[in-house]
Structure 1
Amino acid sequence: MTQPEQSPGPLPVRVPLVTQPVGLLGSLQMARRNVLSIIPKIATTQPIVSGKTGKRWHMVIDPSAIREILLDRLEDYPKSDVTKNLLRPAIGESLFIAEGAHWRWQRRAAAPVFSQRNVRNLAPVMSHAATRAADRIAAAGPRAVNMLDEMVTTTFDVIGDVTFSGDGTFDRDKVHVAIDDYIAEAGKISLFDILGFPDWLPRPGRMMSGQALKQMKAMADSAIEARVARGHEGTPDLLDLLLEGVDPKTKRKMNTAELRDNLLTFIVAGHETTALTLAWSMYLMGFDQGIQDRARAEVQSVLQGRACSGEDVDQLPLIRMIVDEALRLYPAAGIISRTAQKHDTLCDREIRPGDTVMIPIYALGRNELLWDAPDAFRPERFADRKAIDRYAYLPFGDGPRICIGASFALQEAVIVLATLLGRFKFTPVPGKDPEPVMILTLRPEGGVWMTAEPLD
C-alpha cells in the first residue's frame, strides 16, 4: 500500500507559467513585463517544447541535449541575435557576446584573471564590503530594510574596489546610474528582436539610453589610459590583471576599447547577478527560519566573531548550499538563447537553421523529471553534488562559455551571506513578498524587505 504524498508546505514565490498558447503580440506584451512568463508550464514536465512566434523556437530542458548545445556542438549554436542586440550597445564585442576566434583569444587572455589564487586574494575586499553593509543595517535601527538595495550597494562596492581600486578618475555613481538606466529601458525586448530584424534598425529604448552609455565608455577609456600611464602598486586589481593579460597562443593583448568593453561586462555581471543571488538568498532565509538558524550556527562555529576570509569559504558548506539553492530557484539568467546554424535533431525534434533554441534555466531548475519537490526550498539537495546531473543545474552556463567569473561570484556570495547571518537575525516584513520578474535578469520586484535584529 502506498503512502499518501506529503504536502510540501508553503512554497517560496514563483512565476506563474503560461498554460495556453499565446500569439505574437500577446507574447511581446508578456515578455516586456516578465520574460519568464512566456515559458510554457509543460516545460517543467517535458524534455523539449517547440512553437512558432514570428519564427520557430524550441525550449530544451533535457540535460543530454543541453550538453550538445553548450559543449559538443558549441559552434553550431552561437548566442542568439536577440541576446546580442540587447547587450552589444553596452558591452560591445566583449567576451559575453563575441564568437569564434575573436571570443577564443579574449577568453585565453582573460582566464588567468579569475584563477583561484587571484580570486582568493580579493576575499578581503569582499569581507570589508560585507562588514560595511552590516554596519549600515545596524545603523538603520529597528526599521525594515530593503535587502535588494543593500546587496546592490554591497556588490557594487566590491566590483568598484576590485576593478578600479583607489582610482579617483572613475565616477562609480555615474557608471551605476548608466548601467541601471540601460537595463531598465534597453533591456525590454523589442518586437524587432522577436522577429529577428537586423541590429541596424533602431530600437527606441536603446536610443534613449545611448548618451549615458557613451559617457560611461568615455570615462572608462580615460581611467584605463590613466592607469597605463602611472601604473599601480599593491595587490593587483582586475584592471591590472587585464592589462597584463596576453593570449598565450597569439601573444595578443587587449587594446583600450577591448579592455573597456570587458571591464564593463565584468562590472555589470559582477555586481548585478551576485546582488540578485544574495537578495534571493536573504528572502529564503526569511522564508525558512529553521534553515537560517542552522546557517547562523555554522557561521558562528567557523568564524567565532572574526571577519570571513577566503580560507573560511570552504568551511561553510551550508551557506554555499543555500546560495546554490537560491540560484536553482531564482537564476539570474532565467533563459539563455542560441540560434541554430545547421540542421539537427534534439530530443527527436527537428531543428532547422535559423531556429531559436532556448535553454529556460528557470524551468530547468524546477523540472519535475530532474528534481524532487522542485518548487520547495531544500538546500540539502546540494549536499552530494555528484548526485546532480551537471546539465540539470546551470546558473553559470557550462561548456567552454561557462561564466568566467563564477568562482568570484560564489566566493563573494558566501562571504557576504555569512557576515550578515553572523550579526543579525532576519525576519521578513509581512505582506511584502517579492515578485520574481525577469527583464535582463531575474529580480525580486518590490524588494526584499526584512527587519534585522542584532545578535548579542
Structure 2
Amino acid sequence: MSTDTSPALPVRVPLVTQPMGILGSLNAARRNVLSIIPDLATRQPMVSGRTAKRWHMVMDPGALRRVLLENEGNYPKSLVTKNLLKPAIGDSMFIAEGAHWRWQRRAAAPVFSHRNVMNLAPIMTAAAERSAERIAAAGPRAVDMAEDMVRTTFDVISEVTFSGDGSFDSDAVHGAIDAYIAEAGKISLFDILGLPDWVPRPGRMVSGAAMKQMKAVADDAVEARRKRGPQGVPDLLDLLLEGEDPETKRCMNTAELRDNLLTFIVAGHETTALTLAWSLYLCAFDPRVQEKARAEVQAVCEGRPATGEDVANLPYIRQIADEALRLYPPAAMVSRSAAADDTLCGRQIRRGDTVIIPIYALHRHHQLWQDPDAFRPERFENRKDVQRYAYLPFGDGPRICIGASFALQEVVIILATLLGRFRFAPVEGRNPDPVMILTLRPEGGVWLTAQPV
C-alpha cells in the first residue's frame, strides 16, 4: 500500500529516501512513476543523477521559467513522452515541435476563446445534471466518484467534439484509448534507454489494431462533417475545420484534425475527470471546506444546476479545484531533453540530458508552500500570492495547456452542481491510492456516500 493514511492529511505518495538503480527505477516506475521521485526534491531547488543517462529534476521557479519560457526551444518534449503518446495522437500539437507545432497552435487558438468556451457551457451543465441523477439513484449506497466523473467528462468531450454525431462511435473511441493507455502506456525500458521509436515495444504491440481502427472511425467522422458543415452551435470539430493559421494561411488536413481531436479527447476528458474526483475526495475529507463551498453554491445557484454565467461568482469552488490540482496534478511529472548545453541553478546541463519537472514535488515543496501536504483552498484566495512557476498544473510558457479555461469552467460547473445537491462523506477504509502511469489517478476509486441536501 503506497498511501499515507494519516488522519491529519489527505493521501499522498511516499517519496524515495534511498537511491535506486536502473532496474529498481524501472520496476518502481511501472507501478507508479511518482515513486521514483526522491524526497529531497521537495526540499532542494534541483536534484541530479544518472539512470543510463544523466537526468536533472528541477523545482526552482527561476530555472523552470528558463526551461518553459525563456529558453523553451532548447527543451523539446523528451523521447519517452513522444514514444508513449505518438501511437495514439500522432504528430498533433501536444507532441509536435518548432514550426510544425507553432502553426497548429495558431490555427487552434481561436477554438478556445472565452466566447466559444462559454457557448459550450450548457453541455457541461447537462452532463452535471445527469451525474446528479445517477448519484441520487444510488441512494445510500457508496458511489465510485472517480468512475462517474470519467463518464461525466467523456459525455462532455464527445458532445462538444462531435455534437453527438451519429457517425462517430464515441464509446468505441473511449474504449480504444483506455486499452492503449492500459496495455501500452507503461514506461518501457527501451524508452528510458532512449532507443529510437522504430525498435518495437513488446507491451505496445497489443493495442495497435484497436488504435488503427479508432483512427479510421475518426477520419470518417471528420470527412463526413467536412461535407455536411456545422449545424447549430459550432462544436470543436466545426471550429477546427474553420481554423486557419493567420500567418501561413494553412488549414489542418484530415489526419491533422483527427490527431488534434484525439488529443483533446485523451487530454481533455481524463484530466478533468481526475481534477473532479480528487476535488470531491478532498471535500469529503474536510467537511468544513465542503460546507463553506455548499453555502457559496446555494447563495449563487439557489437550488438550480450551475451554468457558465455562474462560474465567475463561485470563487471558492475554483479555489478547491486549484488546491486539488496542486495536491494531485493530473500531469504530475513531465520531461524534456536538452537540445544544447545550458546552465540551471548554477549547474551544467549537457546536450542530451533529460530535464524532469516533477510537478507533484514542486507543488509540495517546503520552500514554496506552507504546510505543503495539507488541504487548504484558501491558499488561492489571492492568486497574486502564488508564485507563478511554483504552480504548474497546466504547464506554462508558449506550450501552456490550450484547453485550461475550458477545463476549469467544466470543473467549476460540475463540482458546484454536485455540492449543491449532495453532502459527500468518505467510506471507512477505502482511501484512494495516488498512482501515476500517464496521469495521476486515484487507484481503487473515490468511494463516497452522497446524502441529498
Please give the TM-score of this superposition, normalised by the length of structure 2: 0.98
State the partner residue of 1:440.
Answer: 438
Deviation at 1:141, TM superposition (A): 1.3
Q: Secondary structure at the match of 2:424?
A: strand
State the partner residue of 2:321.
Answer: 323
Task: Tell me the amino acid that sits aligned with residue 166 of structure 2.
Answer: G
Q: Secondary structure at the match of 1:50?
A: strand
Which of 155, 159, 163 is the matching residue for 1:165?
A: 163
Task: Tell me the amino acid that sits aligned with residue 141 of structure 1.
Answer: G
- In structure 2, the gaps of 5 or more residues are 1-5
Deviation at 1:311, TM superposition (A): 1.3
Deviations 1:339-398 (A, max 9, x none): 001111101111000000011000000000000000000000000110111000000000
Task: Tell me the amino acid that sits aligned with residue 277 of structure 2.
Answer: A
State the partner residue of 1:309.
Answer: 307
Deviations 1:406-452 (A, max 9, x none): 00000000000000001000011000000000000000000000011
Task: Tell me the amino acid that sits aligned with residue 356 of structure 1.
Answer: T
State the partner residue of 1:297.
Answer: 295
**After the TM superposition, which of the residue ranges 202-211 and 32-41 deviates more from structure 2?**
202-211
State the partner residue of 2:141.
Answer: 143
Q: Secondary structure at the match of 1:286?
A: helix
State the partner residue of 1:83.
Answer: 81
Q: Secondary structure at the match of 1:259?
A: helix
State the partner residue of 1:225.
Answer: 223
Distance in 1, Cα, partners of 2:356 & 2:270: 22
Distance in 1, Cα, partners of 2:159 & 2:358: 33
Is 2:82–2:95's contact at 8 Å kept on the other side of the alignment?
A: yes
Task: Tell me the amino acid that sits aligned with residue 354 of structure 2.
Answer: T
Asked if 1:36 corresponds to 2:58, the answer is no
- In structure 1, the gaps of 5 or more residues are 1-7
Distance in 1, Cα, partners of 2:71 & 2:344: 12
Which of 58, 63, 88 is the matching residue for 1:60?
A: 58
Distance in 1, Cα, partners of 2:310 & 2:240: 27
Distance in 2, Cα, partners of 1:286 & 1:349: 43
Identity %: 74
Q: Secondary structure at the match of 1:337?
A: strand
State the partner residue of 1:243.
Answer: 241
Q: Which runs of 4+ in 1 moved over 4 A?
A: none
Asked if 1:266 corresponds to 2:255, the answer is no
Deviation at 1:205, TM superposition (A): 1.7
Task: Tell me the amino acid that sits aligned with residue 131 of structure 1.
Answer: E
Distance in 1, Cα, partners of 2:119 & 2:422: 27
Distance in 1, Cα, partners of 2:136 & 2:307: 21
Deviations 1:171-216 (A, max 9, x none): 1111111111111111100000001110110111211011110011
State the partner residue of 2:252.
Answer: 254
Distance in 2, Cα, partners of 1:77 & 1:436: 28
Asked if 1:349 corresponds to 2:347, the answer is yes
State the partner residue of 2:211.
Answer: 213
State the partner residue of 2:107.
Answer: 109
State the partner residue of 2:121.
Answer: 123
Task: Tell me the amino acid that sits aligned with residue 375 of structure 1.
Answer: D
Which of 22, 35, 46 is the matching residue for 1:48?
A: 46
Root-mean-square deviation over aligned CA pairs: 0.8
State the partner residue of 1:393.
Answer: 391
Distance in 2, Cα, partners of 1:131 & 1:48: 45
Distance in 1, Cα, partners of 2:317 & 2:181: 30
State the partner residue of 2:418.
Answer: 420
Deviation at 1:18, TM superposition (A): 0.5
Task: Tell me the amino acid that sits aligned with residue 82 of structure 2.
Answer: K
Distance in 2, Cα, partners of 1:144 & 1:186: 32
State the partner residue of 1:23.
Answer: 21
State the partner residue of 1:373.
Answer: 371
State the partner residue of 2:92.
Answer: 94
Task: Tell me the amino acid that sits aligned with residue 328 of structure 1.
Answer: R
State the partner residue of 2:333.
Answer: 335
Deviation at 1:231, TM superposition (A): 1.4
Q: Secondary structure at the match of 2:394?
A: coil
Task: Tell me the amino acid that sits aligned with residue 164 of structure 1.
Answer: F
Deviations 1:39-69 (A, max 9, x none): 0000000000000001000000000000000
Q: Secondary structure at the match of 2:271?
A: helix
Deviation at 1:232, TM superposition (A): 2.1
Q: Secondary structure at the match of 1:18?
A: coil
Please give the TM-score of this superposition, normalised by the length of structure 1: 0.98
Deviations 1:139-171 (A, max 9, x none): 111101000010000000000100010310111
State the partner residue of 2:182.
Answer: 184
Task: Tell me the amino acid that sits aligned with residue 279 of structure 1.
Answer: A
Q: Secondary structure at the match of 2:205?
A: helix
Task: Tell me the amino acid that sits aligned with residue 186 of structure 1.
Answer: A
Aligned length: 448
State the partner residue of 1:3.
Answer: none
Deviations 1:237-273 (A, max 9, x none): 0000000000000000000000000000000111000
Deviations 1:267-314 (A, max 9, x none): 011100000000000100110011001000100000001221111101
Distance in 2, Cα, partners of 1:180 & 1:205: 14
Distance in 2, Cα, partners of 1:220 & 1:29: 35
State the partner residue of 1:4.
Answer: none
Distance in 2, Cα, partners of 1:424 & 1:9: 23
Distance in 1, Cα, partners of 2:41 & 2:435: 18
Distance in 2, Cα, partners of 1:158 & 1:338: 31
Deviation at 1:9, TM superposition (A): 6.6
Is 2:283–2:289's contact at 8 Å kept on the other side of the alignment?
A: yes
Q: Secondary structure at the match of 1:422?
A: helix
